[in-house]
Chains A and B, each alone.
Chain A
Amino acid sequence: MLDVRDLSVSYGTIRAVRGISFSVGKGELVSLLGANGAGKSSTIKCIAGALKASGGSITLEGKDITAASPEQVIRAGLATVPETRDVFPDLTVAENLMLGAYIHRRDQAGNRDNLERLHTLFPRLAERSAQAAGTLSGGEQQMLVIARALMARPSVLLLDEPSLGLAPAIVERIFEMIETLKTSGLTILLVEQNVNQALAVADRAYVMRLGAIVASGTAEEIRSTSDLSSHYLGG
């Protein structure tokens, strides 16, 4: 489904991602783990088209999207939820969701159905649909950006640190929802610092450190064999 080969990302002379390769199969939930500065978010932004790759290739369902612009990537079927939780604060919840369906704006009936489905998944958003998105709580904003990404009806979803800065009870709900999405057949690449929770939902995982992948395997293997704390704490 999503294939990343020898991907490198540089900021000037600083190489944030150094030739990493990984793949996500259809319907799989793969987690990309690692400490701050490991290069996870740069990888995500590069796949989403918001950063240019300095080397390597990214293919989505056999199509090369390495040099694609953000608007081409979403049209190819890959939606991204960035870690910065970018709701459009002065737009209402409904307007935010409407923009999520921008690429399907001619198919109004389909969007209505999709919106209904998302409202049952996130009842909170239905209640607040006329409210400005900037007035939502952090957890609600996180749900909104995920729902907005799903309005594009993607085949692959990139989730960048959905639990960042949220209360434990809300993190719990977010992960329940990720599981629901997974059972619905969506292919998901989940970037997380919250290792235990990420491994609980993931099929497979890759561990990044200083821009390179240092471990990979099934969630079980990663949990039992690799010494995760050393990657995080730099031991």
Chain B
Amino acid sequence: MAFAIQFVIDVLSLGGAYALMALGLVIIYGILRLVNFAYGELIMVAGYTMYLTSGSGLPWLLMAALAVVMAIVFGILTDYVAFRPVRAKSVTAVLITSFAFSNLLQNAALLFISPRPRNVPLPDIFSQTVSIGGAITPVRNLITIAASIVLLAAVAFLMRKTTLGIAMRAAATNFTMARMLGVPANLIITSAFALSGFLAGVVGLLWIGRIGTVVPGVGLEPLLVAFIATVIGGMRSLPGAVVGGFLLALIDTTLNYTLSQDLLKFRDAFTFSLVILILLWRPEGLIKGPASGQRT
């Protein structure tokens, strides 16, 4: 019983973090049909904001809020620096500029801060454990689960009930038509980047809360995870990204528990094999996006 609880908590907390990461990526992809490769660096920005404010004596929650705000600011900056100037001209160009922006941010961190890991202040609650039904579990896993439930619900509400959210969904299916109804393209895209930055910021706190330190390359793994989760779930569907995130977490956690010590170093190989199988079975991902899908 304790084992089952432990397993479920592990899957849900890892899955919640994965789902939020994937959602942040797919919100941009849905509208622009472009993967934002600088997404991982938003997580890095959140981490370094925590590190840089750690000596300021601010309460932790304020620092965390500041980290999320910085991730949003850099999300919007990604739009202005990497996407907007070349968006209308060439897909390839945006691919390169988003890589370039990602590199630029990473190297700025290397140069101005340090290539070595930096400690990030974390409240005590992140290192405490509790016992639930006999299973000893870190409190941060429960925080992750709670945060992902709240955020997934908030995003669902935003996308379903607000005019901005509905306009974003419309723009994701047919950008030109949405513009012909008067929905301003730039507003929608900037909102998508802001939302993506917000999710990256929160994920950054949760993710870095697991490792406790931040390095310039910290965003690489979340970007990869988010990318795989969206590919499994369906690149153009928001629910798909969430399903993909949880499924990937289920696969990872199951392998963690079942593989022997020798095989555990090859966990990613097993994970990717399963991903390939899923894609052979469902090349478009588990959940198909809306019908029309031309790039605009």
Bits for B16-39, please: 1 = Cβ < 8 Å to A, else 0. Answer: 000000000000000000000000
A55 to B212, CA, bound (A): 60
Give the residue name and chain of the A residue nearest to B187 (CB): A71
A211 to B292, CA, bound (A): 28
Q: Does A139 contact B (CB under 8 A)?
A: no
Of the 9-residue stretches B56-64, B91-99, B178-186, B197-205, which lies at the interface with chain A? Answer: B178-186
A73 to B169, CA, bound (A): 22
Q: Would you give the shortest CB distance from B179 to chain A, in whole angstroms?
A: 4
Contact in complex: A89, B291 (CB < 8 Å): yes
Q: Does B260 contact A (CB under 8 A)?
A: no
A102 to B187, CA, bound (A): 13
Contact in complex: B176, A152 (CB < 8 Å): no
Give the residue name and chain of the B residue nearest to A96 (CB): B170
A88 to B168, CA, bound (A): 11
Contact in complex: A102, B181 (CB < 8 Å): yes
A105 to B184, CA, bound (A): 13
Using Cβ atoms and an 8 Å threshold, which residues of chain B touch A103? 181-182
A82 to B174, CA, bound (A): 12
Give the residue name and chain of the B residue nearest to A132 (CB): B290
Using Cβ atoms and an 8 Å threshold, which residues of chain B touch A89? 173, 290-292
Q: Does A48 contact B (CB under 8 A)?
A: yes
Count of chain A residues with a beta carbon within 8 Å of a chain B beta carbon: 28
Q: Given A89-B290, A98-B163, decide whether A48 and B180 contact each other with a Cβ distance below 8 A.
A: yes
Bits for B259-296, please: 1 = Cβ < 8 Å to A, else 0. Answer: 00000000000000000000000000000001110000
Sort chain B's interface into a size bin. 20 to 34
Contact in complex: B292, A99 (CB < 8 Å): no
A82 to B179, CA, bound (A): 12
Contact in complex: A71, B173 (CB < 8 Å): no
A80 to B292, CA, bound (A): 19
Q: Does B167 contact A (CB under 8 A)?
A: yes
Which of A82, A134, A152 contacts B177, CB < 8 Å? A82
Q: Does A40 contact B (CB under 8 A)?
A: no
Contact in complex: A88, B174 (CB < 8 Å): yes
Which of B173, B179, B185 contacts A90, CB < 8 Å? B173
Q: Would you give the shortest CB distance from A91 to chain B, in whole angstroms?
A: 6
A89 to B293, CA, bound (A): 11
Q: Would you give the shortest CB distance from A129 to chain B, in whole angstroms?
A: 14
Contact in complex: B170, A91 (CB < 8 Å): yes
**CB pairs A–B below 8 angstroms (17 shown):** A50-B179, A69-B185, A70-B176, A70-B180, A71-B184, A74-B181, A75-B182, A86-B174, A89-B291, A91-B166, A99-B167, A99-B170, A99-B178, A100-B181, A102-B163, A134-B291, A152-B181
Residues of A within 8 A of B (CB): 48-50, 69-71, 73-75, 79-80, 82, 86, 88-91, 95-96, 98-100, 102-103, 105, 134, 148, 152
Given contacts A89-B290, A152-B181, 12 further A-B contacts (CB under 8 A): A48-B180, A49-B180, A50-B176, A71-B185, A80-B180, A88-B173, A89-B292, A90-B173, A91-B173, A99-B167, A102-B183, A134-B291
Residues of B within 8 A of A (CB): 163, 166-167, 169-170, 173-174, 176-185, 290-292
